[in-house]
Structure 1
């Protein structure tokens, strides 16, 4: 199996203008090594994150050139496994970052939050900080995406290309479908999480470095507008925007489009999602918010019978 490591500085953008670090073929399994959201700089509870961290978060491993990928295709990324490459995860409270404080984007007059580092030891499938803060291992890819067709997009930003969606559904056993906008797709990933609740409330999940095993496939001539996710039991679409209700509208509207492709009448799909659709928040802290709309396959596939 090919192993891919960043040979130099990690990227903090999704961009078509960087030199690919590796090339992969459709159907090929690869192991990609990622650093955590803090570029592995925080190592102990006494660290002062604001003094250690640079200006940017979420280092990306990439870009990875997918042979044969052309604009208008869809890149199907099979997430096979996520293995930790260390025995601890980190979460931090930062003074002007998170869902319940003023930030550079959402301006408030409140005092900055007190800064704190939480270290979680990983053992026997659990991440433990103390007797109250102990949670199960639930790994997923915080950032996963392809290059936009023109602009470079920050690794903190989720959008049509994927990016920093922070949705727990990007996990082993699922397939992430991403739009291809440039030749070679220029795939990036990073920001692995050992677990996270809905919304990523304080702005940092259980951040961990990892070895990620993926397999790439191409769906030629199949164009999608927003990231799609398929699990063994559900179809999902991720929408990212501000305000949050616009992200919800994107996700549900795109899911209706997918259902139409599966044989549904558009307006019956609208009705079905009204009655049986599911929706949850991936993140409520990034430059754009990400929401996931879902439908169980047992309903979605009923139109084809």
Structure 2
């Protein structure tokens, strides 16, 4: 039996984890890509719980960095980063529900070299930014283009990295805000969390009728923290399955895969993001696994794990997890 049959999506979802109709969300059908998560645009697609969406995503730069001679400061117009597919309206979804997204596949799309990473002014974990003011000059700008396919990523002549794709941005609309797609928070967004990978199921608390699912910013691989501010960004063909869960109140995004469950927090400072994630994970263990709160607290002290998504965005993202084999 596949672990998916015992997932929260399969056990609690309206569609029971069973696939429905497949919808193509090509670049042409998407039309205008969006740079904010919010409720103020019309849905580009209406689906039923269980339906599958195959979406053509842009890279984080909307394809504007075409050569290694391009300068991000000349080609990009920040904060217009992370163009998003969507929003996708899911029938029957209301505030207080949960949207479940099973990530089926992420494939590189377009002519090679399809991968791009950069150093850019005012962005990164080890440089001066708008939030961390310094007097020193910015580092030089740099663009690197790389061949990416399922066999790996040609980082340079000597180094080939494994292909470990994931969705940098995934989430639902806030209730009244329209918020930059560069920022993560309780709706998901730009979490840059490598566990948002094929095979995983992500869960998001709904704040707007229909959910309004957004996705984009695919990465071919990324180290913990996305240190310089850009992973190996790539346009992609993304296949996801979306379901609806009723009567399962959660406050922050969650994720599960075959090995573990994870709660996700995004804020600054970084330790408060970890606190959000661990508090949400304890709540999950109490309500769905029968733990006493203090017993869960003690257990996570010994067996909890933290994944650093990003340490470069307006808010940092951390995921707190525990192996399913431990909690049963």
**Shift in Å at residue 9 of structure 1?**
2.0
**Shift in Å at residue 67 of structure 1?**
0.7
Q: Does residue 302 of structure 2 align to residue 275 of structure 1? A: yes
Q: Deviations over 1:135-176 (max 9, x none)?
A: 111100000010001111110100000000000000000000
Partner Cα separation in structure 2 for residue 42 and residue 133 of structure 1: 22
RMSD of the alignment, in Å?
A: 1.1
Picking from 60, 63, 83, the partner of 1:59 is 83
Task: Give unmatched runs, 5+ long, in structure 1.
Answer: none
Picking from 64, 76, 79, the partner of 2:100 is 76
**Shift in Å at residue 50 of structure 1?**
1.3
User: Which 10-residue stretch deviates more, 24-33 or 129-138?
Assistant: 129-138
Partner Cα separation in structure 1 for residue 305 and residue 262 of structure 2: 9
| Corresponding residue of 1:119 | 145
- TM-score normalized by the length of structure 2: 0.90
Partner Cα separation in structure 2 for residue 13 and residue 31 of structure 1: 21
Partner Cα separation in structure 2 for residue 46 and residue 147 of structure 1: 37
Partner Cα separation in structure 2 for residue 62 and residue 281 of structure 1: 26
- Give 3-state SS (helix, strand or coil) of 1:92's partner: strand
Q: Does residue 205 of structure 2 align to residue 182 of structure 1? A: no
Task: Give unmatched runs, 5+ long, in structure 2.
Answer: 1-21
Partner Cα separation in structure 1 for residue 320 and residue 82 of structure 2: 25
Partner Cα separation in structure 2 for residue 95 and residue 132 of structure 1: 28
Partner Cα separation in structure 2 for residue 143 and residue 259 of structure 1: 26
Partner Cα separation in structure 1 for residue 159 and residue 36 of structure 2: 33
Picking from 153, 158, 161, the partner of 1:135 is 161
1:123 and 1:217, CA in 2 relative to 1: closer, same or farther beyond 3 A? closer
User: Which 10-residue stretch deviates more, 87-96 or 116-125?
Assistant: 116-125
**Shift in Å at residue 84 of structure 1?**
1.0
Partner Cα separation in structure 2 for residue 54 and residue 134 of structure 1: 31
- Give 3-state SS (helix, strand or coil) of 1:254's partner: helix
| Corresponding residue of 2:44 | 21
Q: Does residue 68 of structure 2 align to residue 49 of structure 1? A: no
> CA contact under 8 A between 1:5 and 1:61: conserved in structure 2?
no
> CA contact under 8 A between 1:101 and 1:110: conserved in structure 2?
no
| Corresponding residue of 1:292 | 319
| Corresponding residue of 1:157 | 183
Partner Cα separation in structure 2 for residue 89 and residue 256 of structure 1: 38
Provide runs of 4+ in structure 1 moved above 3 Å. none
User: Which 10-residue stretch deviates more, 51-60 or 159-168?
Assistant: 51-60
- Give 3-state SS (helix, strand or coil) of 1:206's partner: coil
Picking from 291, 304, 310, the partner of 1:264 is 291
Q: Does residue 5 of structure 2 align to residue 5 of structure 1? A: no
**Shift in Å at residue 91 of structure 1?**
0.2
- TM-score normalized by the length of structure 1: 0.96
| Corresponding residue of 1:167 | 193
